[in-house]
Structure formats: C-alpha cells, structure tokens
C-alpha cells in the first residue's frame, strides 16, 4: 500500500500535480466527515441494483406494461444518464470558481480526484450525494414520464451504476483489448493529457455531439 500523504498536502500542490499511485490525502479535520468522503467501490452495486430490480418489477408486474415499452423507456433512461453524466462532469465538476471558498468546494467535489486519480476509495460517488440526487431525479421522472417513470428511472440508475463501475475499472483494471481498452485510454487522456475535453466516461457520445473530443 502506498504511503499516505500528510494531511492537507494536496492543497499545497501546484494545479498540475497528478499522483500515479493508489494513494490518498486527508481532506477534513473531522474523522467523522472524512469517513464519508471515502467509499468502497461495491457500494453503488449494493445500493442501486436492488433499485433497478424494484423499478422493473413495478413496471412489468404492478403496472402491467409490455416488455417492449419497458425496454424502450429503460434504454431511454440509460441514454439520459449519459447526458446527465456529461453535463455534470463538464459544467459542475470542471467549473472553475474564483473565490477561496468556491475553490475549496471544487477541490472536495472533483479536484482531489484529478490530483489523486487512482485513490481507490474516492472513485465512486458517496451515497451522501448520490442518494439525494436519486430522489431528485425520480421526482423529475414522475413529472415528465408519469406512468412510465419506473421504466425510465430503472435505466437511469442502471446507467449510473455502469458509470461508477466503469470509472473504477478504468483506473484499476487492465482492460487490455477492444472497446474496454479504448474507453480506458479515452478517460486517462482526460486525466493526463487535457482535462478540458473527454468529459464522457461511460460513453463518448456527447463529446462528439458537443465537440469536446480531444483534437
């Protein structure tokens, strides 16, 4: 295991500092708060695969929707996730604040990941953030899709789980051939070559749509 950096060391690093090791940095003085900034990569699977299953159960057995209708809205939910992933990564995670508080908040949300991209316990979204967002999106889907909300939301959540697992894999699994290797290289270029392009992680689709692929 790599030696843990001293507390707050990352805050004194130059902006282009990037660790190549599976090492971490302490972000909070409180042990309790610090605990919630670290997440085992299996947590999204444990929390959200049952949600996907329950939503599909609701759509197919409780609402009696046809398999084709459920499959269509499920795929739409996955597509919507790829767009949400792109927009959050580009406009929230890579927003560049000017104030001291804003810069500190940005570092906590995403900057620490660019300084320590291989920190295994900070590669998936903490439940303290993902759970409130899940409720928010489910409420939005109820308003937009009405009786088809369960099908579409199942797709959105499944897309999110795939994103978190793929993000972890790109940093810690070999992924030596085919599309897996291409996706790994695509994301690592975002980290080590140019972080102003390549915002898609589970899919480069919206990078091509909005012309943010690497030139």
pLDDT of 1:
40
Alpha helices in 8-126 (DSSP H): 31-35, 43-57, 67-87, 100-106, 112-115
Q: Are 120 and 22 in contact (CB under 8 A)?
A: yes
As a dihedral over the C-alpha atoms of residue 58, residue 62, residue 64, residue 65, rounded to 10 degrees, the angle is -20
Model pLDDT for residues 19-64, shown as the tens digit of each residue: 677 777 788 888 887 877 888 999 999 999 999 999 999 999 999 9
What are the φ and ψ backbone dihedral angles of 186, each rounded to 5 degrees?
-60, -45
Average pLDDT score over residue span 73-98: 95
Alpha carbons 170 and 161: distance in angstroms, whole number? 14
Contact predicate 113/170, CB 8 Å: no
pLDDT one-digit tens code per residue, 176-215: 999 999 999 999 999 888 999 999 999 999 999 999 997 6
> pLDDT, tens digit, for every residue of 166-176?
999 999 998 99
């Amino acid at each position: 295991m790599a030696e843990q950096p001293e507390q707050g060391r990352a805050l004194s690093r130059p902006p282009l500092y990037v660790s190549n090791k599976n090492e971490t940095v302490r972000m909070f003085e409180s042990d309790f708060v610090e605990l919630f900034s670290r997440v085992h990569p299996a947590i999204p699977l444990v929390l959200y695969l049952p949600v996907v299953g329950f939503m599909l159960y609701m759509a197919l057995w409780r609402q009696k929707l046809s398999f084709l209708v459920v499959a269509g809205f499920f795929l739409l939910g996955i597509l919507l996730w790829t767009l949400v992933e792109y927009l959050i990564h580009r406009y929230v995670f890579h927003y560049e604040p000017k104030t001291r508080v804003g810069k500190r908040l940005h570092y906590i949300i995403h900057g620490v990941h660019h300084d320590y991209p291989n920190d295994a316990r900070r590669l998936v979204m903490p439940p303290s953030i993902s759970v409130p967002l899940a409720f928010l999106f489910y409420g939005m889907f109820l308003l937009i899709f009405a009786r088809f909300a369960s099908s579409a939301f199942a797709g959105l959540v499944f897309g999110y789980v795939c994103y978190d697992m793929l993000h972890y894999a790109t940093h810690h699994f070999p992924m030596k051939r085919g599309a897996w290797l291409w996706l790994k290289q695509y994301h690592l270029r975002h980290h080590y070559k140019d972080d102003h392009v390549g915002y898609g992680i589970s899919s480069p689709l919206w990078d091509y749509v909005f012309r943010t692929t690497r030139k």
